[in-house]
Chains A and B, each alone.
Chain A
């Protein structure tokens, strides 16, 4: 049996408000998203802060749905097998500074692309990110093959107050565990 007291204490220690772990579904995003918004309502923040947190959540979920390698086919929907991606998502807060952290297993082949994208985004300021976002949308519209994952990362960088922090840890043969961390808000302890 899992020691729930230990789990509870850990959640408390790290100021975790919402934690989700398990299979990810497109429809599931609505449910968790609703919980996140409810949580944000308590702090009576301006719409822009709530939207920033919500948007980072949505883009991280979309990215995980697309790129998580930890999938196995379960169930069937309209004759189509559903591959649920797995991942972990955490929203936490302290003194009205929020942090959003996500983790998922990905194929080694995607690591270099994502790493170099994040490193580049971290060199840009807010106006630079806004400009880059539009450029990339236009580029991807010209190239219909693209799935828009890159744009999701830019959107995360635009809405975050901090730089995007990340780590890639070896997971198993051919697979890597990817963690991403950003903060939102200007309160004390906010990392720029």
Chain B
């Protein structure tokens, strides 16, 4: 049975979806809860296992409006983990989705993209 997780957004945590059957993760909203590590623990646990398996595809849609510095640290860690396991056979696609007026998220996406070597990183900026 493939893993499925869905968490609705709260005032300080984002909507989270993991659909293992499709190799798909989505974050949407804001992330500034004090206990960031605790909130994303089940996502990280799943990701570690999935990346170690012989997967075909992992797509990560990261559509955040705002996140704090602890979340930034955690996101970069996740991305580096994905990048380390990305190959031609085990494809990883990251869509960093934001709007053109969100300077903070755009800058952060640009900075994180520079650290990636193997995965496909798309900065998706809409009006």
Contacts and interface: CB of A to CB of B under 8 A. Distances in A.
Interface stretch (B21-29, B55-63, B67-75, B118-126): B67-75
Determine the main DSSP class of A at the interface with B.
Answer: helix
A62 B12 contact: no
Interface residues on A, range: 20 to 34
Contact of A51 (B12, B73, B102): B102
Closest 6 CB pairs of A and B: A30-B11, A26-B34, A151-B69, A155-B69, A47-B101, A48-B103
Interface residues of B, number: 23
A140 B69 CA distance: 11
Interface string B44-87: 00000000000000000000001011101100110010000000
B111 interface: yes
A59 B66 CA distance: 12
Interface of A: 26-27, 29-31, 33-34, 46-48, 51-52, 54-55, 58-59, 62, 65, 130, 133-134, 137-138, 140-141, 148, 151-152, 154-155, 159
A159 B103 CA distance: 11
Contacts, number: 76
Interface of B: 10-12, 32-35, 66, 68-70, 72-73, 76-77, 80, 101-104, 107, 111, 115
